[in-house]
Amino acid sequence: MPGPLTSDERERVLQDVAASGLLRSPLRPDGTGGILAGDLVGRVTVGGREARVGIMLEARFPLALPRLLLYPWDAFGHIPHVDPVDEESGVGLICYQDSEGIILDRRRPAALAIEALRRGLDLLADGASGRNRADFAEEWEAHWARAGGDSVRCVVDPPGRVTDLAVVTWRGGTAGEPVEVRYLAERASDLPGYDKSLSGEGLPTRRALYVPLAAGATPSPPPPLGPFWTAEEVCAFMGASLPGGRLSHVKKRARRMRRRTTQETELVVFSLPRPSGGATLFGVEFAGVQADHPLFGGRCSGVRPVQVLRRDCAYLVPRGGADDALSRKRALVVGCGAVGGHIAVQLARAGVLDLTLVDPDVLREENVYRHVLGKTYCGYKKVIGLNVHIERELPYTTVDAVGENVLDAVASGRVVLADYDLVVVALGSPTVELDLNERLWSEKHGPPTVFTWVEPYGIGGHALLVRPGERGCFECLYTPPAPSAAPLSNRAAFAGPPPPGRSYGKALSGCGSLFTPYGSADALQTALLAVRLGVRALTGVEGESPLLSWQGDPSAFEEAGFSVTARHRRSAAGLEEQRCAYVSSRCPICGVEP
């Protein structure tokens, strides 16, 4: 297996790079007097201008890409992908490849080094000619971060128009270690939407000018070395980056803001569209402002950069791999035990931010090994624990906790089934589930509903999507195939009927403590099946009303003296093929019995 190179091997790689002809008059600096460090240094000419480029093989090479250096760093101007290493040396680092997803052919180290050098030189050519100028806008966040300064957290979806936003200052911590956080929002009352523990009321608030820049604007970031922009430079930058006609809007808004305030600092937040989509937010703060806004002739004593950290829903949700399109959907989860608890959390993590949870049960210590909530929440109703857990951990979520039996909640009108975009039922109680199925069908356009349950001893789990008005429902599973057949056993089941006098439940201390044995992984796997199906229903990807099942190892179940059904022994492909075969034409709810 190839590892780090021997010194002979490194030598050969460097000789091959030198022989490639990419660098003129290549030489091996001895490291004593050279201005440009590197294992091999040579001259390049780009766009008529000359500079020196060095290649450096790190100790881990070829497991790590070689470093490419440019001297002087601004030989071709301030161009994308070249950053000065420090203030003194004048050396720049050429960022020729972001390493994510790149597989290095470590068995051909010389070819790798030559390819790296070629890519670096291409970047210099693109930079010198201005071809990759848009890359500044693409990587603006990184450039701005280098400018430093205070930060403000944006908790509002960035508007598409010129406006002013609230800058709300929250102070906490201790006297010895005070903490100050600034939030950018429409208004102070937006803060609890981001974090339920924050109350915007009574917090010091001022206004910041918000200016969206033109799509396709390709400004240059502030120089990486040397002083930050002056007020004049900020004005010039803005003037060159605004869409036609917008300057008068900005001016009007800025004037209006200054008429209402005598504040001595003015924060301006810009939104710069990225060529690849989305936008980068960044701020400039003027200090010592007198009279007019410093963008329009007012005097100020200084300008500093401000980092705007995007914490808004439209950014955070997709950034975390969730679906922004789901963020305005409402879901009802009925039953918040081992399966339902995971469903509630996973739905929120998928981006369904508005949840109603229904369950009257209190979390007991006996539950904690297979419930998504741990010991911290024992003694509380499961819905209360989930409410706190989800709202605390996931920004922008709203959890309505209904700590009562679902039939009572529906009867009292506390829960109205038709108000939701998705219902997930994880009660593990077929009688109530059959009743809910019938109620959902009585709604003209009832929401898509996933019924889900886990089998004993980890032999599997199921998720059934029911779409009221379309064939296939929970009652179908309990509809006997012929009028004379015995009713009321679930035809999806993997567990065969228990021997006479026995049940799947295990009693630890008498019949009061009967529980169904299955593990946390079984509950989670079932929950994931149900959540994926529910999300497919919400996004319209699922066009059928399928019964989906996962099959687990039956050995523990069989050792306990039980047997699995023929359905459990089918292949996974067979089950998938028969995903809608459960639909019964004799079903009293959805059937079309002539």
Q: Using CB under 5 A as the criterion, which residues of the chain lie in contact with Zn ion when the complex forms?
A: 473, 475-476, 587, 589-590
Between CA 83 and CA 70 the distance in angstroms is 9
Evaluate whether 477 touches 464 at the Cβ level (below 8 Å).
yes
Query: How distant is the alpha carbon of residue 386 from its chain centre?
Result: 20
> Cβ of residue 160: shortest distance to Zn ion, in angstroms?
47
> Cβ of residue 586: shortest distance to Zn ion, in angstroms?
9
> Cβ of residue 415: shortest distance to Zn ion, in angstroms?
23
Query: How distant is the alpha carbon of residue 355 from its chain centre?
Result: 18
Identity of the residue, 24 or 586, whose beta carbon is nearer to Zn ion in the bound complex:
586
Identity of the residue, 44 or 590, whose beta carbon is nearer to Zn ion in the bound complex:
590
And the tokens for 234?
């900020």
Identity of the residue, 242 or 590, whose beta carbon is nearer to Zn ion in the bound complex:
590
Please report, as a single letter, which amino acid is at residue 264. E
The helix/strand count (H/E) of the chain reads as 15, 22
Identity of the residue, 108 or 491, whose beta carbon is nearer to Zn ion in the bound complex:
491
And the tokens for 69?
């250096």
Q: Is 350 helix (H, G, I), strand (E, B) or coil?
A: helix
And the tokens for 418?
């038709």
Identity of the residue, 179 or 485, whose beta carbon is nearer to Zn ion in the bound complex:
485
Identity of the residue, 361 or 438, whose beta carbon is nearer to Zn ion in the bound complex:
438
> Cβ of residue 496: shortest distance to Zn ion, in angstroms?
23
Between CA 286 and CA 265 the distance in angstroms is 5
Q: Which of 162, 176, 149, 142 is nearest to 208 (CA)?
A: 162
> Cβ of residue 339: shortest distance to Zn ion, in angstroms?
22
And the tokens for 127?
């930079």
And the tokens for 93?
């680092």
> Cβ of residue 469: shortest distance to Zn ion, in angstroms?
12
Instruction: Please give the order of strands across the beta sheet that includes 449-454.
Output: 398-402, 354-358, 330-334, 422-425, 449-454, 460-466, 547-551
> Cβ of residue 332: shortest distance to Zn ion, in angstroms?
21
> Cβ of residue 432: shortest distance to Zn ion, in angstroms?
17
Strand partners for 208:
165
> Cβ of residue 591: shortest distance to Zn ion, in angstroms?
6
Please report, as a single letter, which amino acid is at residue 172. G
Between CA 584 and CA 576 the distance in angstroms is 17
Evaluate whether 426 touches 420 at the Cβ level (below 8 Å).
no
> Cβ of residue 484: shortest distance to Zn ion, in angstroms?
19
Query: How distant is the alpha carbon of residue 441 from its chain centre?
Result: 35
Identity of the residue, 133 or 491, whose beta carbon is nearer to Zn ion in the bound complex:
491
Identity of the residue, 217 or 590, whose beta carbon is nearer to Zn ion in the bound complex:
590
Cis peptide before 72 (omega within 30 of 0): yes
Report which DSSP code applies to 130: T
Q: What angle do CA 465, 439, 381 make, to 5 degrees?
A: 80
Phi-psi region of 204 (alpha: psi -120 to 50; beta: other; left: phi over 0): beta
Identity of the residue, 184 or 476, whose beta carbon is nearer to Zn ion in the bound complex:
476
Identity of the residue, 87 or 593, whose beta carbon is nearer to Zn ion in the bound complex:
593
Identity of the residue, 126 or 475, whose beta carbon is nearer to Zn ion in the bound complex:
475
Between CA 313 and CA 327 the distance in angstroms is 8
And the tokens for 31?
């490291």
> Cβ of residue 454: shortest distance to Zn ion, in angstroms?
22
> Cβ of residue 593: shortest distance to Zn ion, in angstroms?
11
> Cβ of residue 434: shortest distance to Zn ion, in angstroms?
10
Identity of the residue, 11 or 443, whose beta carbon is nearer to Zn ion in the bound complex:
443
- Name the residue whose CB lies closest to Zn ion: 587
Residue 267, C-beta contacts closer than 8 angstroms, at least 6 positions apart: 152, 167, 206, 208, 209, 283, 284, 285, 286, 306
What are the backbone angles phi and psi of residue 154, rounded to the nearest 5°? -90, 120
Between CA 280 and CA 403 the distance in angstroms is 42
Identity of the residue, 238 or 589, whose beta carbon is nearer to Zn ion in the bound complex:
589
